[in-house]
């Protein structure tokens, strides 16, 4: 009897020990994974990799990432590309204005000097991006927004910008891009522009070997701080301003209706929210957008499915905005602006009905485009203890990770995932969820592969003819190949 008790006790101890040893893998697989077959080995390896940035980046660089939904092509191009373009055009760098120009009476660096002097080249590169940001002289916010005017003369063609972005997406395992870039206004010119951009996309994929396809769609931007000529030099006239802004919105929405099937998918507003026009005209802009959106839907109810809107909203902190504007920027963008996605959303905590707004965003699947590196560089919102990511995440509001202006910010989507993992303690399963979110809340046409945004629940029958479902299925296969490959790599490293 005593012998049996000893054997029973030993067996109990063995199974308890076994369950403890297996618990981390079981927790990762059942609690954190996006799919039931997530590799426990890969998930556990990721937890260890988070402790070392080089190891973490090596892992995430090759991890499938779905989509980048908040991307400005002008800001995405790396400063070195702009420098090469400026030198090719024989522009000079004005040392006073810190800008590339054709000619100037100010002290300047010639193209030849920029090629031969590392210090002069470095001065130009730093002026055009947040590289070596001189925080003691110029804050990130002003430095960032001033950069666009400084490098405007050196920006390559849109096709060249697209080639750089598609090539970068291929190398980082991104399947889909939504780019904020303004097409021409005339219908025939838009068709030609789309054909040229498509040719550039196909060429880049072909040159990369054609093994990784990157789909591209476009978001039409409206400059929220633009003014008609009469208001740039004359007194303010509200009626003139609102008529001008109405025409801008009407033009953009009409382009989306006509070309949504060919890749023009959404409308957004650009430029800093803390500028005078943004601050004083925000409600008027939302009211105009609401009126024009409703007008087009009244003309044809089918337009409601085409008229997608994703608005920069709440890209504010108390350092750059009075308290009052932050009380309703996001809620107005949704209620009046018809936004189905919010860009940045940093001021959510200052909304009057913050918890009601979070519930609404959760229930209506209004996603937030999170741009961590941009938020750090421009507004100094750095680290998990300052950023509202957790406020959205814990309220089950859909979120996606995006780059914003990766060239100026000196980042990329891999680093956005790395920051999210380190700032908020996210698991591998969480990052998989974010990758699927980027496709789920994109403006890809067709139904989702999943049930109500739950990436553990596949629909019984895959939606037929859905571009979105096809890319989501592709992402599932991408992750399976990635995890199979990582298991081999983990074994290799263990042998060493």
pLDDT the model gives residue 137: 58
The mean of the pLDDT values for the chain is 91
pLDDT the model gives residue 492: 82
The three-point CA angle 98-103-106 to 5° equals: 55
Give yes or no: residues 137 and 252 share one domain.
no
Q: Does 46 fall in a domain?
A: no
Q: Which residue has the tokens 């009897």?
A: 1
Q: Does 464 fall in a domain?
A: yes
DSSP symbol at 415: H
Q: Does 18 fall in a domain?
A: no
Give strand pairing partners of 100.
93
pLDDT the model gives residue 86: 96
Residue pair 90/111 in contact by the 8 Å Cβ criterion? yes
Give yes or no: residues 137 and 230 share one domain.
no
The pLDDT tens digits of the residues spanning 91-103 come to: 999 999 999 999 9
Q: Does 3 fall in a domain?
A: no
Q: Which residues contact 159 (CB under 8 A, 6 or more apart)?
A: 196, 197, 199, 200
Give strand pairing partners of 370.
401
Mean pLDDT of 111-129: 95
Give yes or no: residues 83 and 69 share one domain.
no
The three-point CA angle 349-351-354 to 5° equals: 70
Give yes or no: residues 88 and 173 share one domain.
no
CATH number, residue 325: 3.20.20.140
Overall pTM > 0.85: yes
Residue pair 308/339 in contact by the 8 Å Cβ criterion? no
Single out the residue of 178, 176, 171 nearest to residue 211, CA to CA: 171
Q: Is the four-CA dihedral 358, 429, 410, 217 of positive or negative sign? A: negative
Confidence of residue 18 (pLDDT cuts 50, 70, 90): very low
pLDDT the model gives residue 43: 95
The pLDDT tens digits of the residues spanning 198-244 come to: 999 999 999 999 999 999 999 999 999 999 999 998 899 999 999 99
The pLDDT tens digits of the residues spanning 382-409 come to: 888 999 999 999 999 999 999 999 999 9
The pLDDT tens digits of the residues spanning 234-263 come to: 899 999 999 999 999 999 999 999 999 999
| Residue 12 scores a pLDDT above 70 | no
Give yes or no: residues 144 and 186 share one domain.
no
Pairing of strands 308-313, 341-344: parallel
Tell me which H or E stretch contains 8. helix 2-27
Give yes or no: residues 196 and 117 share one domain.
no
Q: Residues of the chain with pLDDT > 70: what percent?
A: 91
pLDDT the model gives residue 495: 52
Measured distance CA(437)–CA(416) in Å, rounded: 15
Task: Give 8 or 263, the one with higher predicted confidence.
Answer: 263
Q: Does 241 fall in a domain?
A: yes
Give yes or no: residues 110 and 203 share one domain.
no
Confidence of residue 430 (pLDDT cuts 50, 70, 90): very high
Give yes or no: residues 323 and 202 share one domain.
yes
**Residue-wise burial string across 331-350, b where 16 or more C-beta atoms lie within 10 A, e elsewhere:** bbbbebbbbbbbbbbbbbeb
Q: Does 17 fall in a domain?
A: no
Q: Does 226 fall in a domain?
A: yes
Number of structural domains in the chain: 2
Give yes or no: residues 338 and 287 share one domain.
yes
Neighbours of 93 (CB within 10 A): 28
Q: Output phi, psi for 333, to 5 deg.
A: -65, -30
Give yes or no: residues 69 and 140 share one domain.
no
Confidence of residue 30 (pLDDT cuts 50, 70, 90): very low
Positions of E strands within 238-392: 264-270, 308-313, 341-344, 367-370
Give yes or no: residues 329 and 342 share one domain.
yes
Cβ neighbourhood burial of 472 (10 Å; 0-12, 13-18, 19+): buried
Tell me which H or E stretch contains 451. strand 450-451
Q: Does 45 fall in a domain?
A: no
Task: Give 342 or 22, the one with higher predicted confidence.
Answer: 342
Q: Domain range for residue 464? A: 60-75+157-478
Give yes or no: residues 148 and 204 share one domain.
no
pLDDT the model gives residue 493: 78
Single out the residue of 145, 177, 182 nearest to residue 70, CA to CA: 177
Confidence of residue 37 (pLDDT cuts 50, 70, 90): confident
Residue pair 334/360 in contact by the 8 Å Cβ criterion? yes
Q: Which residues contact 424 (CB under 8 A, 6 or more apart)?
A: 384, 387, 389, 390, 393
């Amino acid at each position: 009897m005593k012998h049996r008790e000893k054997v029973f006790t030993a067996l109990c101890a063995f199974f308890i020990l076994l369950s403890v040893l297996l618990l981390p893998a079981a927790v990762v697989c059942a609690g954190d994974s996006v799919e039931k077959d997530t590799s426990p080995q890969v998930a556990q390896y990721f937890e260890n990799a988070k402790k070392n940035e080089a190891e973490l980046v090596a892992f995430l660089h090759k991890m499938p990432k779905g989509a980048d939904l908040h991307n400005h092509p002008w800001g995405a191009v790396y400063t070195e590309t702009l420098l090469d373009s400026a030198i090719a055009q024989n522009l000079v760098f004005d040392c006073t204005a810190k800008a590339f120009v054709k000619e100037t009476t100010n002290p300047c660096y010639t193209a030849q000097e920029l090629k031969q002097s590392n210090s002069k080249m470095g001065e130009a590169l730093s002026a055009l991006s947040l590289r070596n940001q001189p925080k003691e002289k110029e804050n990130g916010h002003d430095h960032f927004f001033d950069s666009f005017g400084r490098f405007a003369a050196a920006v390559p063609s849109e096709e060249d910008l697209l080639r750089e972005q598609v090539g970068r997406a291929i190398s980082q395992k991104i399947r889909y891009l939504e780019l904020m870039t303004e097409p021409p206004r005339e219908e025939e010119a838009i068709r030609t522009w789309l054909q040229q951009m498509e040719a550039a996309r196909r060429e880049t994929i072909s040159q990369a070997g054609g093994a990784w396809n990157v789909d591209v769609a476009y978001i039409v931007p409206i400059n929220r701080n633009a003014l008609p000529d009469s208001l740039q030099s004359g007194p303010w006239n509200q009626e003139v301003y609102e008529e001008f802004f109405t025409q801008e919105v009407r033009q953009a929405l009409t382009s989306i209706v006509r070309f949504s099937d060919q890749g023009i998918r959404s409308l957004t507003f650009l430029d800093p929210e803390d500028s005078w026009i943004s601050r004083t005209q925000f409600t008027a802009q939302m009211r105009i957008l609401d009126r024009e959106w409703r007008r087009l839907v009244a003309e044809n109810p089918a337009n409601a499915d085409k008229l997608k809107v994703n608005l920069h909203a709440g890209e504010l902190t108390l350092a750059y905005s009075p308290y009052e504007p932050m009380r309703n920027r996001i809620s107005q963008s949704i209620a009046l602006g018809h936004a189905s996605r919010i860009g940045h959303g940093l001021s959510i905590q200052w909304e009057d009905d913050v918890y009601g707004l979070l519930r609404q965003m959760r229930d209506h699947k209004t996603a937030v485009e999170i741009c961590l590196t941009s938020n750090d560089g421009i507004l100094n919102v750095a680290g998990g203890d300052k950023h509202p990511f957790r406020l959205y995440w814990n309220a089950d509001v859909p979120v996606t990770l995006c780059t914003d202006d990766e060239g100026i910010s000196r980042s990329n989507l891999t680093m956005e995932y790395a920051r999210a993992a380190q700032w908020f303690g996210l698991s591998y399963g969480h990052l998989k969820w974010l990758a699927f979110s980027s496709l789920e809340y994109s403006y890809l046409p067709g139904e989702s592969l999943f049930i109500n945004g739950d990436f553990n629940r596949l629909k019984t029958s895959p939606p037929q003819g859905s571009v979105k479902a096809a890319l989501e299925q592709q992402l599932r296969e991408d992750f399976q190949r990635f995890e199979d490959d990582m298991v081999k790599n983990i074994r290799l490293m263990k042998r060493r």
